[in-house]
Structure 1
């Protein structure tokens, strides 16, 4: 009894600490004066920041998949803020001259050898240093250089010979650091001009204009919302944590192309002191269906390689001799193919199917110290799915098998593994840094939120290995589950969708394709093609009582959801690890996700 009380007390203390940490990660977030200061700082930076030497349109950056970007600070005061913003758009290496004394600049140049694009931050004082000018000249011989210069415009004379873009900002303060960082990637637009003659090259009226091409990182007031009206989100998540619905969560809101709310709550597990961060990586569960497989299907549809009303046997040779041959692609994506909902493959594991050590015979890692034999998916899982019975076609019945089969179709048509295809076609070009399958191959597990303490199958805490048992047995890559990501990566992906298929001046889809897949396509359910949607039955209040009929997205078994409302130009992202403490789905019974969504809509309607 005493030990239980001690454990409960510890949990309460950790809960309080985690919430206090969240409350102070964004000082003054709900304070109107702080919001006014932010807006004023950004407005001033916009008026006093000039883009020069951009005749080749290098800024904002395009084709991020081709760039390896570094940021070098040569004496500015707010490099931490600047670099933090840069890394929301893509991975950017960080370097500071303070770590390289003047006599060791060759070492800095050597450390930049793997980067083809280098952003150099300077002040009027540091550009006057000949060592820095020589460094710039040498760097320009082999790299694309962009200079961000803060301070007196007279210092621009030192860059008269520059043939690379220069962003000059009059002030060296947090607002200018934020604005210039976002300007580089198209989060904000350049419009200001020099107001005086600096040199023969930089004359009064000089400057280039740009357009917004990517997400802007802002505050609610920038989208016409009073920050204080979003405070109930904190209370709802606090309730979820205190009632053991989830130990941790991240909530993100994107309005009008601006990230206006991005907060982390709680800890990685109950009884843990690892505070959740906004850049933690979550198991998306069934959100993978729309973040991966459906994206691939949309691309293949546009390329005229995938026909919605063609039988799947045309694209899936192994289905041809089974009762699945004549199912239509459209039926799979609407969950109307008559497939069984789920097959618990993990319940049929035999002693010879797994090993605690890896080997040539057991190469598929399912969890720490758990390996499945070679060919298990091809020899056991796929035949079992193909030989399963069929129920009534044309009736809605949600089935994971549909997306298992869609993965096979995508791989047949692309000649690539699904994980590689979506990484190269979408995630990397968009600047998404974490999205993908099998995150333990790419990230330290401390960055990944634990999902479940699996006591019935893998007998371990799952951290970085997909929770879904079938996806795990398939090697972590499946059509219905397996994608891990941060909230920021999902915001990028679905802002592209809201933009009509364009992001960073790159066209990923035609607007008509997005409209087709995300609109209601079923006569017997609310579903789109791959996408879940707003429920016309108002009694269900799904996904939110206030969402528009245009809303599309998906939920995930691990306690996740992404909802996109084109009418409100809104993206709502909720990521949690609700399975961590116990299997009861309190996230749903407490209506945590829709209640937060309701708060967002109410805040929008109230305005400022």
Structure 2
């Protein structure tokens, strides 16, 4: 195993001294939360590992607790029931959240919840007061020890939302004797943040509408967080220029190269900190197929920095032979690359991967952005974990922190209508792409590649970004060591601005990348489909922009009009004006 050179150690030390490594999260709660935690059976609040929870929400009256339920759904998958057939409906859930006002929480319901507690289920009762005195059957000694109980001063929508956020740690509980801390994103639309949200919104609206009217993209979603608080979240336009379906904040987008930092890189990060992968070990060390190639002695560090000398891009789809791609599925063509488009089985294994291994390599050390880099890192990760990357990242990260939509091949998990279409592919797949990855190589690899293939909502990306701002911790659980996040997201190259996997703000201020107001702590990535995510530890800011600018055909207008950067400029200007 190779050792790091003294020069690199000096460079890393300089980065730390210069302050380019990241500050810890600085949650700032500006919302007054009147929810009170009366008792916390088992010390379960805020809820933590969401992958271990199966949550049922039970309300005495259907359709009455919509703000409460919608807020819960921002954090986790929940199923909603009333008390009809309570035992049968909640049998397979281990966490029961009950919401009600005094008159709805009848005494005959107590035994049902008591039985759930006897069965080892976590029961969380949220009471919304209609009067100053509670005086209801839930406050008897018999049942006080069985439930975790929250009390809200009224039934208003804001109180319902605050109670829901309190359960997951989106809001700290500060009233009464039992207190908690904020551990997750809070959805309070910049309330009491000191920011001029209305002016910022008008400016962003104008830029977004300019993009749509100039056909830079048919629709987009913008999201921004400051100090753990969502200060902006809005959807614009439609899925297509036919305006048949409006874009919503819950839509799922093809993230393109954001997959590099939100899919492959976190897998590499956790393997590196566990000592499974070393940044100074070589491709040949991990991949037997590479031992006799020109890539055998290239380190994974060089690969992650895009300094391995790889070919930037190989258009695999142009080399397809007659019979490789069919419009129907048969026993030899089961790799679905789009609707009515099926690739020959094992095409990636037998054709694409060998071609990558045998491709030319230029001298190591110079920055050349290459998709092959993340194909390689995916292969290394899968060989070391013996697990498909899409499964591994779901289990160790996405599900535990509440990224509900993030993943590959979304058509296997979500209704087509939730997924924003991308290009009308006229050269390869001959169909409108909706829920199938836009990148041809990733599609031919079965929809899962190191450089592309990930789909998600803006909210999922916001959760991941806040985890990074927290330097590896989210929801009260640590997923990465702080030094791991610092290492990968800080500048690690002497020839480019790049981190390990992550892109960073350009030090040449004239380039204004990603924003003319971005500082040297900013890291993130852009995506070819018209996406970006930028994380700013210094200002505790997250900026997310999702669009389908490649619909119906690829256009450069999003770049020409500088839409993404200008919206980010507006957010920075708003923050700076409030300082």
TM-score by length of structure 1 reads: 0.87
Q: Which residue of 2 aligns with 1:21?
A: none
Instruction: Tell me the SS of whatever aligns to 1:253.
Output: strand
Q: Conserved in 1, the CA contact under 8 Å of 2:237 and 2:243?
A: no
2:355 matched to 1:387? no
The answer to whether the Cα contact below 8 Å between 1:78 and 1:173 also exists between their aligned partners in 2 is no
Partner SS for 1:351? coil
Corresponding residue for 1:585? 556
Distance in 1 (CA, whole Å) between partners of 2:250 and 2:96 is 24
Name the counterpart of 1:558.
529
For 2:332, the equivalent position in structure 1 comes to 361
Taking the aligned partners of 1:471 and 1:242, their CA distance within structure 2 comes to 31
Out of 149, 160, 166, the residue aligned to residue 127 of structure 2 is 149
Alignment partner, residue 131 of structure 1: 108
Indicate the residue corresponding to 2:181 in structure 1: 211
Whole-angstrom distance in 1 between the partners of 2:240 and 2:482: 41
| Larger displacement relative to structure 2 (460-469 or 314-323) | 314-323
Residue number in structure 1 paired with 2:254: 283
Match of 1:66 in 2: 52
Work out which of the residue numbers 87, 97, 101 in structure 2 matches 1:119.
97
**1:604 is aligned to 2:538:** no
Residues 318-467 of structure 1 correspond to what in structure 2 (within 5 A)?
318-467=289-438
SS in 2 for 1:342: coil
- How far does residue 52 in structure 1 lie from its aligned partner after superposition? 2.0
Aligned equivalent of 2:24? none
Q: Report the more deviating stretch, 413-422 or 356-365.
A: 356-365
* Counterpart secondary structure, 2:312: coil
Alpha carbons 2:466, 2:542 under 8 Å: kept: yes
TM-superposition CA deviations, 1:292-318 (whole Å, max 9, x none): 111011101100111111111111111
Task: Tell me if the contact between 1:236 and 1:592 (Cα under 8 Å) persists in the aligned partners.
Answer: yes
Match of 2:138 in 1: 158
Matches of 1:177 and 1:329, distance apart in 2: 49
Give the secondary structure class of the aligned counterpart of 2:103. Answer: helix
1:168 partnered with 2:151: yes
1:569 corresponds in structure 2 to: 540
Q: Determine if contact 1:81/1:177 at 8 Å carries over to the other structure.
A: yes
Q: Give the corresponding residue for 1:264.
A: 235
Residues 132-151 of structure 1: CA deviation (Å, up to 9, x unaligned): 22332233333221100111
Residue equivalent to 1:535: 506
Of 70-79 and 115-124, more deviation after overlay is shown by 70-79
Deviation at 1:77, TM superposition (A): 7.7
* Mapping for residues 241-320 of structure 1, pairs under 5 Å: 241-320=212-291
Q: Deviations over 1:339-382 (max 9, x none)?
A: 00000000011122122222331111100111111110010000
- Per the TM alignment, residue 76 of structure 1 is displaced from its structure 2 partner at its CA by 8.5
Q: Does 1:90 align with 2:76?
A: yes
The answer (yes or no) to whether the contact 2:86–2:112 under 8 Å persists in 1 is: no
Shift of 1:593: 0.4
Q: Which moved more, 1:154-163 or 1:497-506?
A: 154-163
Q: Distance in 1 between matches of 2:103 and 2:470?
A: 42
Deviation at 1:442, TM superposition (A): 0.2
Choose between structure 1 and 2 for higher RCO, CA contacts under 8 A separated by at least 6 residues.
2
- So what's the TM-score if we normalise by structure 2? 0.92
Tell me how far apart the structure 2 counterparts of residues 156 and 338 of structure 1 sit (CA, whole Å): 71
Question: Secondary structure of the residue that 2:464 maps to in structure 1?
Answer: helix
Q: For the Cα contact (< 8 Å) 2:41–2:147, is it kept in 1?
A: no
- 304-313 or 132-141, larger mean C-alpha shift: 132-141
Paired residues for 1:230-241 under 5 Å: 230=200, 231-241=202-212
- Structure 1, residues 114-135: CA drift from partner, whole Å, max 9, x if none? 32111011211112x2332233
The CA deviation string for residues 513-565 of structure 1, in whole angstroms up to 9 with x for no partner, is 11111111111111010000010111211000001101000000000000000
Structure 2 equivalent of residue 23 of structure 1: none
Contact persistence 2:189–2:231 (CA under 8 A): yes
Kindly indicate whether the alpha-carbon contact (under 8 Å) linking 1:78 and 1:177 is maintained by their aligned counterparts in 2.
no
Q: What does residue 52 of structure 1 align with? A: 38
Task: Report the alpha carbon displacement of residue 78 of structure 1 after superposing the two structures with TM.
Answer: 4.8
Partner Cα distance (2:82, 2:258) in 1: 39
Distance 1:137 1:297 in 2: 45
Matched residues in 1 for 2:289 and 2:228: separation?
43
Deviates more, 1:573-582 or 1:75-84: 75-84
* Aligned-pair Cα RMSD in Å: 1.5
**Structure that is richer in helix per residue:** 1
CA drift at 1:507: 0.5
Structure 2 equivalent of residue 200 of structure 1: none
Residue 479 of structure 2: which of 508, 521, 525 is its match? 508
Q: CA deviation at 1:392?
A: 2.5
